[in-house]
Amino acid sequence: MSNSALVEDFIRQWEAKSIDGILQRMTPDVRYMNVGMSEAVGHDAVREGLAPFLSMSSRIEWTIHHIAETADGVVLTERTDVFEIGDKTISVPVMGVFELKDGLIRGWRDYFDLPGFQAQMA
């Protein structure tokens, strides 16, 4: 399976709101950062950061507009991430970078408009 296909599978875990599925696709020492926010290192820190967000979302849908894989296997995604939280639908344009090792995500950075996200959440 290509690294791009592995990232697409990872995204399906988000849409299923499966924290265990998300973590199973990451190395134990994964480094995850929503740029502009604190970095989470390792499964426990990622779980702590993501689980509350997953549980408050009634629906999650990530649409990939473009996906590319570099010669060394880094996957780049241009996406729109949509979250239904309470009576709000939050839509976030995102550029994601996924570094993989042995079929697992070892580094993940998402670049997005944090103030725009926060305004939608208010």
| Catalytic site positions | 81, 110
Among 14, 30, 24, 54, residue whose Cα is nearest residue 109: 30
Alpha helices in the chain (DSSP H): 3-15, 19-24, 43-56, 114-121
Q: How far apart are CA 19 and CA 89, in angstroms?
A: 21
Residues composing the chain: 122
